[in-house]
């Protein structure tokens, strides 16, 4: 019987478990109830799929996302695992067929919607089936405290009464304590083992940018990543329409997606996005919940999100296959005040909590220390070292003397009698001709135009820091006007110093970093080119089968192939995500594409022009057999051997033991030493009475030649 690790390798094509997966699987197999908290993309599914395959019987997976079930089941089938789903999207006949398969015990996994599961008839049918596990996905839906309560979930408590001997595993990406307790209680889990994984997703880079000229920045960002798909989250429908139109005008395949659109249109967009026919979706938060696309490679937040939980869940949709992914958050202080006003207007008993969550979100956006540390600390985790994969780590703040800057701003605040908000303050500092300034006479104050040397963005950046330093504060109950604090007075009267991070320096450095990143090594260019070729192949295969491309291979698998350029079946099997089934279905096609490419371009982009011998050698080094090289190149086997012999004589590192045994070498050597010079290979062959073939003799003689030196 296959052990869990062997199942992981054989079916899923992964070499090792991620942290905690092994422990969770073992705990399930031992028959315990389990509660699993893992971030989106952390790898929850494998935790129940492997026990489902390992144990006798069928695992019932409860999932609220009907739209997802088909994809999940397709993905399992692509791995050669027997799985089906049953829900209201199917007609009677289809449901019957699946129930039959269930009764026959041929299914490893059956996905069901909670409604279907708790319907009377179905529960009774299940009692006659050998069930090995109940997996409750998105288990937070059971809690009315959670953000996604589903009343049907509360009926799942029946499971532990009706099937007291069957273990239950509840899985979720929402970690807060109340929800956790609620899940355990409502599902009536028996002393569950609780597994809480790190919420870190190190492959997603984190970045926050001041939100000026957002559209321009976004267009540039997308243009620089022509083959990478992503999601832009906007707060309003209007924004989604705006951004998608502007991207379309620039020739980008982008669409908007929001709750105001008809269901059919939304489903269509989702489908096109899954199939890689649509590069960008500009969406309100409604999008993404039901999508399991593993190759979303970036997420942009057009505005400051309302809380860190939501933000983190959204960026979590990028890089699910583990390949490098990016997230960019645009924010401005105005975003914050708009949201805050909105929350205050719709006052409810939770308003205070919501506002404090919004504040934490702003703090995250404005932080000048490792962003991942700040983020993880929000979820109660301590990151030991700076992450190296956020904008702050890559481009640490460069501080400048900020006393005079601060004094200019605060003096303007005082001279305008603490009656203005941030934007007007900046306009005054920059000497703008805005009508309001003249109407209110602010053009006559001493600090009018005193800050012209800094751009609007720079001032936004400075003032945020001045606020964070406690030198002034915002009166949210008075139209967000700025008021001086005691500490601010100290600065104004010269009794306090101030260091400010410089936006200009940050941007300058950013440009340098970007320019450096653009200089690609030749090896990288070649890998990129091959990746595109493989992506094309994958797209054609996916179209022919009518499945999303990532069902065939994830981007991560293709990246791995383009980097390592496997040419043999063994080498191909060690590619991430290459299970036996996929090798069987697609292995050859991809091997051929890689082979073709390597022959045309040579290894690592050094196109081998001069020597036909080197081409053979190149292929030989990639582990291709002599027969295959000959076939591939349309030459005879003995020509290829000749190439290798020549190179061996010239000192190339060729292991000839695979062509010639030690014993054979000795025999040839013996015969050759007795030959009269000059002699031909044919003479040796005849002297050996045809017992050792020509190729071996050639290698033996080459070896003798080398030994002499």
Q: Least CB distance from residue 47 to ligand ADP, whole Å?
A: 8
| 179 versus 389: smaller Cβ distance to Zn ion | 389
Determine phi and psi for 260, rounding to 5 degrees: -80, -5
What kind and span of H or E run contains 375?
helix 371-378
Q: Least CB distance from residue 45 to ligand ADP, whole Å?
A: 3
| 488 versus 577: smaller Cβ distance to ligand ADP | 577
Region of 320-328, 529-537, 641-649, 701-709 interacting with ligand ADP (CB under 6 A): 320-328
3-state secondary structure at position 262: coil
Binding residues among 467-496 for ligand ADP as defined by CB under 6 A = none
Q: Least CB distance from residue 49 to ligand ADP, whole Å?
A: 8
Q: Which residues bind Zn ion (CB under 5 A)?
A: 370, 372, 386-387, 390, 393
**Which of 229, 294, 407, 480 forms a contact with ligand ADP (CB under 6 A)?**
294
Residues 83, 101: Cα–Cα separation, whole Å: 10
Q: Least CB distance from residue 372 to Zn ion, whole Å?
A: 5
3-state secondary structure at position 696: helix
Q: At what angle do helices 626-633 and 637-649 cross, to 10 degrees?
A: 110
| 360 versus 489: smaller Cβ distance to Zn ion | 360
How is the chain split among helix, strand and coil, in percent rounded to 5? 55, 10, 35
Would you count residue 319 as binding ligand ADP (CB under 6 A)?
no
Cβ atoms of residues 294 and 550 within 8 Å = yes
| 207 versus 321: smaller Cβ distance to ligand ADP | 321
Q: Least CB distance from residue 44 to ligand ADP, whole Å?
A: 3
Nearest residue to the partner ligand ADP, using Cβ: 43
Determine phi and psi for 502, rounding to 5 degrees: -95, 125
| 193 versus 368: smaller Cβ distance to Zn ion | 368
Residues 82, 62: Cα–Cα separation, whole Å: 17
Would you count residue 427 as binding ligand ADP (CB under 6 A)?
no
Nearest to 439 by CA among 459, 424, 421: 424
3-state secondary structure at position 162: helix
Q: What is the 8-class DSSP label of residue 390?
A: B
Cβ atoms of residues 186 and 161 within 8 Å = no
- Beta 168-172 vs 34-37: how paired, if at all? parallel
Q: Least CB distance from residue 382 to ligand ADP, whole Å?
A: 22
How does DSSP assign 493-545, residue by residue?
A: TT----EEE-HHHHHHHHHHHHHHHHS--HHHHHHHHHHHHHHHHHHHHHHHH
**Which of ligand ADP, Zn ion, none lies near 390, with the C-beta cut-off 5 to 8 A by kind?**
Zn ion
Nearest to 47 by CA among 690, 612, 56, 38: 38
- From residue 536 to residue 575, the character string flagging contacts with ligand ADP as x (rule: CB under 6 A) and all else as - is ------------------x---------------------
Q: Least CB distance from residue 282 to ligand ADP, whole Å?
A: 23
Q: Least CB distance from residue 136 to ligand ADP, whole Å?
A: 13
| 317 versus 372: smaller Cβ distance to ligand ADP | 317
Residues 558, 582: Cα–Cα separation, whole Å: 13
Q: Least CB distance from residue 163 to ligand ADP, whole Å?
A: 24
Region of 42-50, 95-103, 651-659, 679-687 interacting with ligand ADP (CB under 6 A): 42-50
**Which of Zn ion, ligand ADP, none lies near 387, with the C-beta cut-off 5 to 8 A by kind?**
Zn ion
User: How many other C-beta atoms can be found within 10 angstroms of the C-beta atom of residue 73?
Assistant: 19
How does DSSP assign 335-365, residue by residue?
A: HHHHHHHHHHHT--TTHHHHHHHHHHHHHHH
Would you count residue 172 as binding ligand ADP (CB under 6 A)?
no
**Which of ligand ADP, Zn ion, none lies near 591, with the C-beta cut-off 5 to 8 A by kind?**
none
**Which of 7, 25, 34, 42 forms a contact with ligand ADP (CB under 6 A)?**
42
Could you list the residues that contact ligand ADP (CB under 6 A)?
14, 17-18, 21, 38, 40-46, 294, 320-322, 554
């Amino acid at each position: 019987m296959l052990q869990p690790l062997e199942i992981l390798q054989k079916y899923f094509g992964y070499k090792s478990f991620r942290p905690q997966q092994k422990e969770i699987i073992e705990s399930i197999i031992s028959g315990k109830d389990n509660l699993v908290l893992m971030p989106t993309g952390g790898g929850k599914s494998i935790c129940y799929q492997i026990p489902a395959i390992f144990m006798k019987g069928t695992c019932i997976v409860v999932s609220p996302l009907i739209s997802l079930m088909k994809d999940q089941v397709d993905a399992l089938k692509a791995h050669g695992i027997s799985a089906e789903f049953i829900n209201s999207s199917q007609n009677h006949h289809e449901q019957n067929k699946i129930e039959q398969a269930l009764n026959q015990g041929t299914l490893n996994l059956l996905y069901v919607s909670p409604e279907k599961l708790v319907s009377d008839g179905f529960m009774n049918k299940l009692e006659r089936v050998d069930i090995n596990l109940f997996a409750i996905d998105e288990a937070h839906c059971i809690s009315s405290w959670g953000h996604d309560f589903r009343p049907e979930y509360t009926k799942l408590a029946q499971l532990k009464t009706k099937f007291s001997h069957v273990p239950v595993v509840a899985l979720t990406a929402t970690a807060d304590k109340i929800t956790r307790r609620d899940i355990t209680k409502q599902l009536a889990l028996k002393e569950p083992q609780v597994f809480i994984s790190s919420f870190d997703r190190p492959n997603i880079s984190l970045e926050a940018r001041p939100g000026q000229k957002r559209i321009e920045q976004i267009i540039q960002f997308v243009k620089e990543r022509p083959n990478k798909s992503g999601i832009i989250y906007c707060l309003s429908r209007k924004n989604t329409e705006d951004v998608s139109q502007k991207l379309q005008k620039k020739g980008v395949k982008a669409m908007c997606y929001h709750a105001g659109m008809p269901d059919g249109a939304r489903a269509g967009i989702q489908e096109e996005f899954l199939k890689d026919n649509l590069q960008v979706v500009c969406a309100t938060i409604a999008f993404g919940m039901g999508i399991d696309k593993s190759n979303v490679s970036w997420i942009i937040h057009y505005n400051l999100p309302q809380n860190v939980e939501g933000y983190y869940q959204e960026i979590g949709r990028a890089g699910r296959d583990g390949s490098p992914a990016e997230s960019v958050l645009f924010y401005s202080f105005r975003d914050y005040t708009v949201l805050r006003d909105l929350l205050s207007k719709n006052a409810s008993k939770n308003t205070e909590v919501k506002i404090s969550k919004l504040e934490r979100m702003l703090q995250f956006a404005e932080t000048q220390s490792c962003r991942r540390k700040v983020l993880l600390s929000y979820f109660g985790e301590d990151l030991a070292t700076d992450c190296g994969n956020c904008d702050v780590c890559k481009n640490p703040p460069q501080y400048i003397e900020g006393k005079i800057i601060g004094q200019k701003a605060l003096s303007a605040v005082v001279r305008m009698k603490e009656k203005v908000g941030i934007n007007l303050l900046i306009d005054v500092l920059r000497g703008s001709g805005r009508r309001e300034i003249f109407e209110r006479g602010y053009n006559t104050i001493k600090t009018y135009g005193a800050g012209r040397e800094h751009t609007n963005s720079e001032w936004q950046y400075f003032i945020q820091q001045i606020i964070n330093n406690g030198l002034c504060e915002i009166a949210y109950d008075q139209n967000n006007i700025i008021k001086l604090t005691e500490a601010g007075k100290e600065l104004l009267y010269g009794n306090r110093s101030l260091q400010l991070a410089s936006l200009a320096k940050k941007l300058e450095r950013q440009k340098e970093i970007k320019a450096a990143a653009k200089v690609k090594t030749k090896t990288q260019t070649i890998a990129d080119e091959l990746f595109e070729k493989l992506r094309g192949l994958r797209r054609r295969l996916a179209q022919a089968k009518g499945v999303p491309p990532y069902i065939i291979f994830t981007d991560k698998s293709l990246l791995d192939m383009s980097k390592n350029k496997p040419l043999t079946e063994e080498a191909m099997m060690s590619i991430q995500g290459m299970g036996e089934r996929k090798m069987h279905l697609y292995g050859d096609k991809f091997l051929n594409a890689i082979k073709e490419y390597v022959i045309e371009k040579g290894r690592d982009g050094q196109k081998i022009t001069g020597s036909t011998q080197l081409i053979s050698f190149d292929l030989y080094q990639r582990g291709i057999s002599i027969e295959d090289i000959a076939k591939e190149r349309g030459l005879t086997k003995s020509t290829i051997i000749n190439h290798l012999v020549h190179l061996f004589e010239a000192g190339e590192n060729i292991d000839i033991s695979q062509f010639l045994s030690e014993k054979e070498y000795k025999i040839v050597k013996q015969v050759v030493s007795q030959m009269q010079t000059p002699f031909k290979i044919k003479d040796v062959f005849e002297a050996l009475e045809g017992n050792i073939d020509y190729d071996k003799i050639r290698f033996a003689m080459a070896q003798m030649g080398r030994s002499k030196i």
